[in-house]
């Protein structure tokens, strides 16, 4: 068995699919500022800027948090594998030193009303129907479960932001997972919240919004992705089981594995090392016909060649994977 598995590994190394790598740059479809108030009386839906951190002076140290969303599915094709994601924002005004600014995924929908702050915009404007505020997702309709936004527990990306300039939050596994999830399920795409220093007053930073007069300074999301030409030509329900090559490959520490089934049936997707020893079972249950995707997290596994093995309906398909740490 081990000799057969080794032979399959060697064969698979020379059987790479045709991969089309592409990149798109998206502009924000929505953004806003959550300005800390007890009654949700302020917002800045169509203002030229959004804010993070705590303001000083007349603001009384109240918190500001930015919201930004990009529509993924109209531009990135369904079934694409996201390989990298980078968010670029232009920071145009600050009175504070370097602050850590983080991105967290928003877990509930929110609005961008017609509120439009004057001057430097840090004080916001009177919120209107449909605006996101500190307590409202859509003013007049629905509230956040938690004041200040309903957020995923983890941080998707973080960056030290200092003086006035453009900043890019480079790709992280979390950002890639966020966008991949939104591509697969567009109804769950509520964008990110941008959170700056909130430990004390005087930490606020202003970023240019999608309504900013300087087009080059508007939020931009750069997405790189791949599509397999061999997979693109296949029907959504294939005539036989299909195990696609994982992506990314090589990978560290996680990779996505897609497979398709011709009918509703029990599927078993396992991972073997170079010695033919099973090191992980990713799927072992009845599955529906069509395409499925699973992630293998190889944290704690040594670098080297691995074999993904799909069994279903009496058929077997295998592909090689390379873990490179």
Per-residue pLDDT at 20: 64
Per-residue pLDDT at 232: 43
Kindly tell me if the per-residue pLDDT of 111 is higher than 70. yes
Closest Cα to residue 32, out of 177, 273, 210, 182? 210
Averaged pLDDT of the chain: 89
Query: pLDDT of 195-221, one tens digit each?
Result: 999 988 889 999 999 999 999 999 999
Q: Is-contact 104 156, C-beta < 8 A? A: yes
> Which residue did the predictor score with more confidence, 7 or 54?
54
Closest Cα to residue 136, out of 113, 120, 166, 103? 113
Lowest pLDDT segment from 48-62, 144-158, 193-207 = 48-62
Per-residue pLDDT at 44: 97
Per-residue pLDDT at 19: 56
Q: What is the average per-residue pLDDT within 163-175?
A: 95
Closest Cα to residue 247, out of 183, 194, 295? 295
Q: Is-contact 171 177, C-beta < 8 A? A: no
Kindly tell me if the per-residue pLDDT of 34 is higher than 80. yes
Residues 186 and 196: their CA atoms lie apart, in Å, by: 27
Report the chain's terminal Cα–Cα distance, integer Å. 27
Residues 260 and 231: their CA atoms lie apart, in Å, by: 10
Lowest pLDDT segment from 15-19, 87-91, 243-247, 294-298 = 15-19
Q: What is the average per-residue pLDDT within 14-29?
A: 74
Over pLDDT 90: what percentage of the chain? 72
189: cis peptide before it, omega within 30°?
Answer: no
CATH for 234-323, options being 3.10.450.50, 3.40.50.1470, 3.20.20.70, 2.60.40.1930: 2.60.40.1930
> Which residue did the predictor score with more confidence, 276 or 70?
70
Strand pairing report for 242-243 and 192-195: unpaired
Lowest pLDDT segment from 9-13, 241-245, 259-263 = 9-13
Q: What is the average per-residue pLDDT within 91-100?
A: 94
| CATH 2.60.40.1930 domain span(s) along the chain | 234-323
Kindly tell me if the per-residue pLDDT of 23 is higher than 50. yes
Kindly tell me if the per-residue pLDDT of 9 is higher than 90. no
Split at pLDDT 50, 70, 90, the class of 57 is: low
Per-residue pLDDT at 78: 84
Q: Is the pTM of this model over 0.85?
A: no
Per-residue pLDDT at 239: 83
Q: What is the average per-residue pLDDT within 45-57?
A: 92
Q: What is the average per-residue pLDDT within 41-61?
A: 87
Q: What is the average per-residue pLDDT within 285-297?
A: 90
Query: pLDDT of 292-321, one tens digit each?
Result: 889 999 999 999 999 999 999 999 999 999
């Amino acid at each position: 068995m081990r000799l057969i598995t080794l032979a399959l590994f060697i064969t698979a190394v020379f059987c790479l699919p045709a991969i089309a790598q592409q990149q798109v740059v998206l502009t924000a479809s929505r953004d806003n500022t959550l300005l800390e108030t007890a009654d949700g009386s302020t917002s800045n839906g169509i203002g030229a800027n959004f804010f993070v951190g705590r303001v000083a002076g007349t603001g009384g140290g109240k918190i500001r948090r930015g919201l930004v969303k990009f529509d993924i599915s109209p531009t990135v094709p369904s079934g694409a594998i996201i390989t990298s994601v980078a968010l670029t924002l232009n920071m145009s005004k600050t009175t504070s030193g370097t602050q850590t600014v983080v991105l967290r995924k928003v877990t509930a929908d929110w609005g961008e009303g017609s509120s439009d702050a004057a001057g430097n915009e840090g004080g916001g404007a009177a919120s209107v129907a449909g605006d996101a505020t500190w307590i409202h997702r859509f003013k007049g309709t629905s509230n956040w479960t938690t004041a200040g936004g309903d957020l995923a527990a983890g941080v998707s990306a973080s960056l030290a932001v200092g003086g006035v300039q453009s900043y890019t939050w480079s790709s992280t596994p979390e950002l890639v997972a966020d966008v991949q999830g939104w591509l697969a399920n567009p109804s769950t795409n509520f964008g990110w919240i941008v959170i700056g220093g909130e430990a004390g007053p005087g930490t606020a930073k202003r970023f240019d919004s999608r309504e900013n007069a300087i087009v080059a300074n508007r939020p931009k999301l750069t997405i790189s992705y791949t599509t397999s030409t061999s997979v693109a030509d296949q029907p959504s329900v294939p005539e036989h089981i299909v195990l696609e090559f994982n992506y990314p490959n090589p990978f560290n520490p996680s990779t996505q594995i897609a497979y398709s089934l011709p009918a509703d049936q029990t599927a078993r997707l396992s991972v073997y090392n170079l010695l033919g020893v099973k090191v992980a079972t990713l799927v072992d249950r009845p599955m529906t016909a069509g395409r499925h995707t699973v992630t293998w997290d190889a944290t704690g596994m040594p670098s080297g060649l691995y074999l993904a093995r799909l069994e279903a309906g009496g058929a077997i398909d295998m592909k090689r994977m390379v873990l490179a740490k």
